[in-house]
Each structure stands twice: as structure tokens, then as C-alpha cells.
């Protein structure tokens, strides 16, 4: 079962001084094929860890304050897989925070499932190094081998005031 995981992160940050300056940084990365992990039985949760995960490293100016993350990505259910058999969640490994709930596709048919979540607080806080690392754990409950490949496209935008 192939999954396509285009990955979009939008960061909102505050500039460390009192200036009312808007700063935006964009980053897009085209990755190689990435796998999703097959978990038979009970559905995965945010405590499930995929040995087949994807990461996105985002550089933003140091000493910025992140107060919101928006995420958009797509997963493709193919080879008789259904969108409702897809599960995924995001972790900011820089802060150690994960989403509190797992996202699941909808529909008992194959095809492209768009995921969009806004206002996530998993990266909130000061960025003293200017580096944020995000991890996407993606699962499926049906299909062939434990790890099936997918193509990944990732991008991010950071905004500051």
C-alpha cells in the first residue's frame, strides 16, 4: 500500500524585540520514498512509534518565540487500501511534545486523503538554537509488508511579529 505524504508546516513566532516586524521563512523539501508502518489489530495511538517515520528540520531565526504550528499533508491509500485505514501524528522532537490525538483518514475507498490541522502547540516556546525538528509517524491497519513506501514532499513557513 503506497502512501504519499506531502508535508506542510506553518510556524507562527514572535520576534524577540518589541518591533512590529513580520518575518516569514519558507522551506520545501522533496524526500525519497518513505514507508508507513502496518499495525494489525487495534488502531495505533499517539503512543505508537513507527520505525518508519519521516522528519523535517526547519531553520528559523534564533531567539524567536513559536506560538502556533499549522500542518498540512496528504496520504495516498492505494493497492486496495482504504483512506479510513490511515493514521498519523506529529511530534516536535525539539520540544518533545506530540499531538494529543491521532488523525485518521475517512472513507472506505482508495485515494488521496488530505490532512490539515491548525493551531498546534507542540513547538511552542523560545527557539534558542533556531532549529526545530518535526517527526511524522504514519501508520496503516491493512496491506502488505510491515513497511510500504511512499513519496514525501515537505514544506514549512515560519512567521514572526
Domain limits, the chain: 5-160
Q: Quick one: fold of 5-160?
A: Jelly Rolls (2.60.120)
Task: State the pLDDT at residue 101.
Answer: 94
Task: State the pLDDT at residue 98.
Answer: 96
Which residue reads 512567521 in cell numbers?
Answer: 159
Task: State the pLDDT at residue 97.
Answer: 95
Task: State the pLDDT at residue 99.
Answer: 95
Mean pLDDT, each 10-residue run in order, the chain (161 residues):
47 40 53 74 90 84 81 82 92 94 94 87 86 90 64 41 34
Task: State the pLDDT at residue 116.
Answer: 87
- What is the DSSP secondary-structure string of 27-64? EEEEEEEEEEEE--SSPP-TT---SSEEEEEEE--TTE
Q: What is the pLDDT of residues 101-140, one digit of tens each?
A: 999 999 999 988 888 888 889 988 878 888 888 899 999 9
Amino acid at each position: 500500500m503506497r502512501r504519499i505524504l506531502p508535508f506542510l508546516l506553518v510556524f507562527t513566532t514572535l520576534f524577540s524585540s518589541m518591533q512590529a516586524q513580520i518575518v516569514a521563512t519558507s522551506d520545501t523539501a522533496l524526500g525519497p520514498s518513505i514507508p508507513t508502518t502496518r499495525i494489525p489489530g487495534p488502531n495505533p495511538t499517539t503512543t505508537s512509534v513507527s520505525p518508519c517515520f519521516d522528519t523535517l528540520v526547519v531553520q528559523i531565526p534564533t531567539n524567536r518565540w513559536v506560538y502556533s504550528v499549522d500542518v498540512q499533508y496528504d496520504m495516498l491509500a492505494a493497492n486496495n487500501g482504504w483512506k479510513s485505514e490511515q493514521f498519523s501524528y506529529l511530534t516536535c522532537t525539539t520540544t518533545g511534545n506530540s499531538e494529543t490525538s491521532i488523525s485518521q483518514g475517512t472513507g472506505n475507498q482508495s485515494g488521496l486523503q488530505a490532512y490539515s490541522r491548525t493551531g498546534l502547540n507542540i513547538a511552542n516556546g523560545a527557539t534558542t538554537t533556531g532549529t526545530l525538528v518535526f517527526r511524522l509517524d504514519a501508520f496503516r491497519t491493512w496491506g502488505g509488508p510491515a513497511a510500504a513506501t511512499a513519496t514525501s514532499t515537505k514544506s514549512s513557513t515560519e512567521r514572526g511579529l
